[in-house]
Amino acid sequence: MFPLMTVELAARAARLRELHESGLLVIPNVWDAATAKLFEELGFPAVATASAAVCASLGYPDGSEIPPGEMFAAVGRIAASTEVPVSADLEDGYGIDPDELIESLLATRAVGLNIEDTDHAEGRLMDAEEQAARLAAIKSAGSRAGVEVMLNARIDEAPVRSGPEPLRGLLHRAKLYSQAGADCLYPIRLQEEEHIRAFTHSAGAPVNVLIRPGSPSLRRLRDLGVRRATFGPALHRVALNALAEFARGLDIDSEQPVFR
């Protein structure tokens, strides 16, 4: 990269990290340039991609089946459309070497990334220590490139349904991932208030919670100590549902104008 671009991206990455330092950061998940620009115009200070939504918009299934070049091209169009920091959902990293992964990320002008601990090629949850080592390598690659990228480490392990320590496995991963340099922890299956409270209290890094039906309110999440709230592909579904409702209302025999 050119030195001036590195300086610009480093500043954006620092800004994205600062947004996680106090209060609750609500980050809309976008899938194309138009949605990114929309949320910027509405005043959101950052946007993130949702891999499932990007994949659906391009005709691919979720789960690291999209060609990496297609995903980076989509992220690049999104980042080019907005001046706010962009975080890219890069699924399990597509098996790409950390230096190449960071080089490809920064070429899009995105400055944050989600990496999940499910290995889609093998259909398994990654060993916690193995995943921590990969996260550390990604952070080191960012440092070598001159940009301290904002690494959001997704934890796919679920709380156990019974027992005295339902979060033991998640907190073990949280400790390892935060020690590896993860800037934010994303326990995607965490939903119950008592679990969210316990996790944010012990995680050792800012926590990202996925908003879904039945989730606590944004105000409640803030009070529980959550620092980042995202929506995954839900906003994409909201948009498609609105379009479907419009299409179902089209009536060739109606005398009413289509757009009122």
Q: Give the start-to-end residue ranges of the domains of the chain.
A: 3-239
Please report the pLDDT score of residue 204 as a whole number. Answer: 93
Average pLDDT rounded to a whole number, residues 61-74: 97
Mean pLDDT computed over every residue of the chain: 96
Are the C-beta atoms of 133 and 179 separated by less than 8 Å? no
Please report the pLDDT score of residue 211 as a whole number. Answer: 98
pTM check: above 0.85: yes
Please report the pLDDT score of residue 1 as a whole number. Answer: 64
Are the C-beta atoms of 228 and 28 separated by less than 8 Å? no
Please report the pLDDT score of residue 259 as a whole number. Answer: 87
Are the C-beta atoms of 174 and 36 separated by less than 8 Å? no
Helices 128-145 and 168-179 sit at what angle, rounded to 10 degrees? 30
Q: What is the pLDDT of residues 139-153, one digit of tens each?
A: 999 999 999 999 999
Alpha-carbon distance 230 to 26, whole Å?
Answer: 6
Distances (CA, A) of 44 to 41, 86, 202, 221: 8, 11, 28, 18
Reported for 12-17, long-range contacts at CB under 8 A and 24+ positions apart, including other chains, are 12/85, 12/109, 12/111, 13/85, 13/111, 13/112, 13/147, 13/148, 13/149, 13/150, 14/148, 15/85, 16/46, 16/85, 16/87, 16/111, 16/112, 16/150, 17/148, 17/150, 17/183
Residue 99 CA neighbour count, 13 Å, CB half = 2
Residue with structure tokens 């908003």? 211
Task: For residue 236, name the pLDDT band (cuts at 50, 70, 90).
Answer: very high
Alpha-carbon distance 139 to 142, whole Å?
Answer: 5
Task: For residue 220, name the pLDDT band (cuts at 50, 70, 90).
Answer: very high
Residue 260 has pLDDT above 80, yes or no: no
Alpha-carbon distance 86 to 89, whole Å?
Answer: 10
Residues 6+ apart with CB under 8 A from 48: 27, 28, 29, 30, 86, 87, 88, 89, 112, 114, 230
Task: For residue 160, name the pLDDT band (cuts at 50, 70, 90).
Answer: very high
Residue 3 has pLDDT above 80, yes or no: no
Fold of the CATH domain 3-239: TIM Barrel (3.20.20)
